Amino acid sequence: MTIYMLAKLSKEEKQEKKWFLFGYLFILILCSVFAYAKYDHSMVPVESFTNQQMLINVDKRDLELTKENKRFYKKHTEKFTNISSDLSNLNKKTGYLYVGRITCEFCRSFIRYTAYTNQKIDQPIFYIDTEMLTFQEKQIMYAKLKISGVPSFFKIEKGSYTRFQGNTIADFNYFVQAN
């Protein structure tokens, strides 16, 4: 229907066309909502996450800070050696450094990496809890480690830091065993 033909329509016919168009759009939106709601949004197991996926997706178990999540996170991080943000303490050490916090859903998902691999790690894991740091301390530490946030995991060798940047649990296992 052209504009010329629309101009010739009566007021009632124009109103009828508007309601038809409105109804069509309403049905289209409604179908889109139902299609989205029906889509399975379940997460893949954390073992098959890539780093990029972990930044986008969080394991459903870790979405909320529940008592169980706190218990799981604390259980696995209590095995680590807590240190302050002063990285000079690590200059002569060899091991791993995990930077994270319990209130970060990405950290709770990432700790499953370390929990899954922890029994294979024969060197100490040092832990910096960023919740215990001031804003300024975080900024200084982030600049030294060249990171923009948490979680972050590093191999430490006498003052040198190698950041984990793999794609899978297999990459993480290789990173831990090879370094």
Q: Note the pLDDT tens digit of each residue in 71-126.
A: 999 998 998 999 988 888 888 889 999 999 999 988 888 887 777 775 578 889 99
Which of 106, 119, 101, 100 lies closest to 173, judged by CA?
119
Domain ranges across the chain:
10-38, 46-178
The answer to whether 113 and 166 are in contact (CB under 8 A) is no
pTM to 2 decimals? 0.65
Looking at 2.40.30.10, 3.40.30.10, 3.40.50.300, 3.40.50.620, the CATH number of the domain 46-178 comes to: 3.40.30.10
